[in-house]
Chains A and B, each alone.
Chain A
Amino acid sequence: MASGLVTTSSNRIDERFTTLRATGRKALVCYVTAGHPDLSRSRELLQGLEDAGADVLEIGVPFSDPMADGPVIQASSQTALDAGMTFDGVLDLVEQARLKIPVVLFGYLNPFLAAGPSALGRMQAAGCDGLLITDLPVGADPALESSIGASDIAFIRLVAPTTPTERMQLIASHGSGFVYLISRLGVTGMQSAVAPELGATVARLRSVTTLPVCVGFGVTNAAQAAAITSIADGVVVGSAIVKAAGESVDSAVSLAKSLRSGIDQAT
């Protein structure tokens, strides 16, 4: 891997949200599974989503047993694994894509552990800005969490609707970049409506942190994205993008464009 050619800093996430806040805009965060539907289209998809106006890309590192994901992301992960995708394969993809927008790696702990102690350094060299590990909640592994927290990679943490306010504060104080708020109970996947208690959960979270709040899980269309960004700093769209990407890169990109315009019209 040609490390050092790409200069990066975890501040790209902070800079992006500072700019958005200054201009009164909200973030569109798009999730894709690395290597889905295949390697070359995965690369096209990253570029297409950036061009469609995504502010942050979450790139999924596929895992064989994704217990927090629904059927769409599970199937895309299996497709990518069957085609040979690995942790370093994801880093190569990020490096080759040379994106101007920040990149967050999103995945499960075991492939990250298997990538070894130099994984964080390799991530940074490849141009990754943040890391989100679904099955590493605050306090689960303090030594590992400290090493991630001390790196230049932003440590994106999850908050759930079940999280007590006191624990929200603990989570936010051990995270950086932004906080990813899960909009509802359950696994990733598409829903028709925004959970009614979301506003109250966002308010509880805002009472304990100044980090930007992005809301995900279940967002399918522009109207939902607009509803969410009326109360949050950004919206994360995953399964809907992945499902569209399974049809064609173009349909995923046009979904991202419609999400972008939905968000922008509402703000």
Chain B
Amino acid sequence: MLPKATDRFGEFGGRYVPETLIPALDELEFAFDAAMSDPDFVRTYADLLRDYVGRPSPLSDAPRLSERVGAKVYLKREDLNHTGAHKINNALGQALLAMRMGKRRIIAETGAGQHGVAAATACARFGLECVVYMGETDMERQELNVFRMRLMGATVVPVSSGTRTLKDATTEAIRDWVTNVETTHYIIGSVVGPAPYPRMVRDLQSVIGREAREQMLARTGGLPTAVVACVGGGSNAMGIFHAFVDDAAVRLVGVEAAGEGLNTEHHSASLSRGRPGVLHGALSYLLQDKNGQVHPAHSISAGLDYPGVGPEHSFLHDSKRAEYAAVTDSAALEAFGVLSRLEGVIPALETSHAVAWLLDSVGTWSPSDKVLLCVSGRGDKDVAQVRAMQGNAR
């Protein structure tokens, strides 16, 4: 009954949840650990990742971007996964786990809609009931993903409380889980929430880094100088970082959303500007006021628009194993266009933050440096939003 060592990353993480959920979290932790040491489960999951998701995802050279940046840039193409983002890796693993636990009702929260789409996809594939909570603001920003989810048979529930974004969708999903916990599994989409979620989601996403590490070694004969990924909750970043954490020479760079600027009230840079606090079941860096009320986040990208961050990122930040930067909405928007023009890869607005950091790093590299960038998702979902913004600017 005492907290397990695996509950925490340094001081961060934990299980700060209503009592009702404790037995479900115990059950989930037990089931996950048992599943991951069951060869049948591991094989079933690996087969799905290969035959349904299309893994391994390619590692692409990026010659024109490399020339612009002044280092050799490699793109880990999670955008080429089925459903267009890394989120499917986690959703399929958790859906398999839910069935193993005998739960056939799935709930999920979503911001940009990529996790919602991934959960809806996994549920359609396995014939599970799927309910996705999504903030009304995000439903407007990501109309097409709402349609996709409904097309695959999911129920999308609009959340109109609070900021009407990912934070409130998560709160609403937790409320559903507290109510229906005996029949329902909650597929959290990022490395956030109470233990065991941050560790479980990381492990399910760690395939990104394992593949990329092998691909880098095979392609270049060595490890990358730096690994760069965007960070909202931080699942694509943890997924690609995890395989490199023990490679001390490899720089790990997480890029948060600076929104309208770090010195404004409108950003999502929990690590750069927050302080530790408890939200949605875990202790981690959090945007909050002096009274401990959660400060609304802002980002052009719905997937980064969250006031918290995964607890393992807080640990990597404080232990200085990883470095965290932040880029603005306008820099991300610019990078969205740059990667499209230079490499013929339209990145998600989330990914565009990592690209923007790279564009800003010109002059800091030597030509032999190798930078591995995680293209966490494709930008098709963002094209309408970007077009509308460019139209307004004209």
Contacts and interface: CB of A to CB of B under 8 A. Distances in A.
Interface of A: 63-68, 70-71, 74, 78, 81, 86-87, 108-115, 134-142, 157-164, 167, 170-171, 182, 185-187
B44 interface: no
A198 to B, nearest CB: 14
Contact of A109 (B16, B19, B23, B293): B16
B293 A135 contact: no
Contacts of A160: 18-20, 22
A162 B19 CA distance: 8
Interface of B: 1-3, 14-24, 161-162, 167-168, 171, 174-175, 178-182, 277-281, 286, 288, 290-294
The 10 closest A-B pairs by CB, nearest first: A114-B292, A160-B20, A186-B179, A111-B292, A110-B292, A64-B293, A68-B18, A158-B19, A135-B16, A67-B174
B17 A137 contact: yes
B192 to A, nearest CB: 13
A170 B26 CA distance: 15
A107 to B, nearest CB: 10
B20 A109 contact: no
Contact of A164 (B23, B174, B180): B23
B18 A110 contact: no
Nearest to A77: B293
Given A65-B280, A113-B292, 7 more contacts: A65-B168, A67-B175, A113-B278, A135-B281, A140-B17, A185-B179, A187-B179
Given A81-B293, A87-B292, A140 B15 contact: yes
Given A110-B288, A114-B290, A187-B178, A74 B161 contact: yes
Contacts of A171: 19
A135 B294 contact: no
Contacts of A110: 277-279, 286, 288, 292-294
Contact of A64 (B18, B24, B162, B179): B162
B308 to A, nearest CB: 10
Given A110-B292, A162-B23, A185-B179, A140 B16 contact: yes
B23 A137 contact: no
A69 to B, nearest CB: 8
B171 A67 contact: yes
A24 B263 CA distance: 61
B19 A137 contact: yes
25 contacts: A63-B292, A65-B162, A78-B162, A110-B278, A110-B279, A110-B293, A113-B277, A137-B15, A137-B22, A139-B3, A140-B3, A140-B17, A160-B19, A162-B21, A162-B22, A163-B19, A163-B20, A163-B22, A170-B1, A182-B20, A185-B178, A185-B181, A185-B182, A186-B178, A186-B179
B106 to A, nearest CB: 17
B274 to A, nearest CB: 12
Contacts of B174: 67
A114 B181 CA distance: 30
B237 to A, nearest CB: 24
Contacts of A109: 16, 278
Contacts of A108: 278
Given A114-B277, A135-B281, A163 B180 contact: no
Contacts of A64: 162, 293-294
Nearest to A115: B292
Contact of A135 (B17, B24, B286, B290): B17
A115 to B, nearest CB: 7
